[in-house]
């Protein structure tokens, strides 16, 4: 099962990926989480990526494709995976096709999560994350059990610096220009399922479950 979650920043990809991990027992591959780990560990790749991420720009395609070509070869990808936040540009989509053909693999489903920009801006202002696991919360829509603490570890939650409103608006602009053409690209392959991502978390989860139960 190879699933791609496509949607705007803050559209709910990470939140829904965590449910798919449970359902299918396959890993989530989030380029955002991978990049943030590189930044935290101050690797060469992380040092290169940081300025782009903080300002809400995309990290260059060749950096992302290099990172993903290594990741998809790993053992835990054998039975499938959930791609979250990659590909985000046409060159990345074409690069992914090349990687997949070398690995003799195909994407099974592209789930497009649709959410209007104004809803996103509101959501991002309440997003809180647990940096080391990537677990994501919302102060109103998905609050942790104890205020500002991760449910599993009790660690403090943080606000991402790229979740400030002006940076979020910039990321949305980039999404509309660079990423949304991918919907048409995958439509031509006949593997796209579009869902309304504006409803609450459990309703979105149900819509995604229905895709896989064939309803």
The set of catalytic residues is: 13, 88, 127, 160, 171
The C-alpha atoms of residue 158 and residue 155 are separated, in whole angstroms, by: 10
Residue 70 found at the interface with ligand ADP (CB under 6 A): no
The C-alpha atoms of residue 168 and residue 59 are separated, in whole angstroms, by: 16
Residue 13 found at the interface with ligand ADP (CB under 6 A): yes
Q: How far is the CB of 127 from ligand ADP (least distance, A)?
A: 3
Q: Which two tokens mark 207?
A: 């819509």
Residue 12 found at the interface with ligand ADP (CB under 6 A): yes
Helices and strands (H, E) in the chain, number of each type: 9, 7
Q: For ligand ADP, which is the closer residue by CB, 58 or 111? A: 58
Closest by CA to 129, choosing from 9, 7, 3, is 9
Residue carrying the six token digits 């829904």: 16
The C-alpha atoms of residue 12 and residue 113 are separated, in whole angstroms, by: 8
Residue 15 found at the interface with ligand ADP (CB under 6 A): yes
Residue 35 found at the interface with ligand ADP (CB under 6 A): yes
Q: For ligand ADP, which is the closer residue by CB, 122 or 214? A: 122
- Sequence-ordered alpha helix ranges (H) in the chain: 13-24, 31-40, 44-55, 61-71, 90-102, 117-125, 165-174, 181-187, 201-212
Q: How far is the CB of 34 from ligand ADP (least distance, A)?
A: 8
Q: For ligand ADP, which is the closer residue by CB, 32 or 192? A: 32
Residue 81 found at the interface with ligand ADP (CB under 6 A): no
Q: For ligand ADP, which is the closer residue by CB, 26 or 56? A: 56
The C-alpha atoms of residue 138 and residue 152 are separated, in whole angstroms, by: 16
Q: Which of residues 147-186 bind ligand ADP (CB under 6 A)?
A: 162, 171
> CA-based Rg of the chain, rounded to a whole angstrom?
16
Residue 200 found at the interface with ligand ADP (CB under 6 A): yes
Contact residues toward ligand ADP (CB under 6 A) are 7, 9-15, 31-32, 35, 52-53, 56-59, 64, 85-86, 88, 92, 123, 126-127, 136-138, 141-142, 162, 171, 200-201, 204
């Amino acid at each position: 099962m190879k699933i791609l979650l496509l949607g705007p920043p803050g559209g709910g990809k990470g939140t829904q990926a965590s449910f798919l991990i449970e359902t299918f027992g396959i890993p989530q591959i989030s380029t955002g989480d991978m990049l943030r780990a590189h930044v935290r560990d101050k690797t060469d790749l992380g040092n290169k990526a940081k300025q782009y991420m903080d300002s809400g720009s995309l990290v260059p395609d060749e950096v992302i494709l290099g990172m993903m070509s290594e990741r998809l070869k790993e053992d835990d990808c054998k039975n499938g995976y959930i791609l979250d936040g990659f590909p985000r540009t046409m060159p990345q989509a074409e690069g992914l096709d090349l990687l997949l053909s070398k690995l003799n693999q195909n994407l099974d489903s592209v789930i497009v999560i649709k959410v209007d920009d104004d809803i996103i801006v509101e959501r991002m202002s309440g997003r809180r994350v647990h940096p080391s696991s990537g677990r994501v919360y919302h102060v109103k829509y998905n609050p942790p059990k104890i205020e500002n603490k991760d449910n599993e570890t009790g660690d403090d939650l943080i606000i991402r610096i790229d979740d400030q409103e002006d940076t979020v608006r910039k990321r949305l602009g980039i999404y509309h220009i660079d990423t949304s053409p991918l919907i048409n690209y995958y439509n031509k392959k006949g593997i796209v399922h579009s869902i309304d991502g504006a409803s609450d978390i459990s309703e979105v989860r149900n819509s995604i479950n229905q895709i896989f139960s064939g309803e």
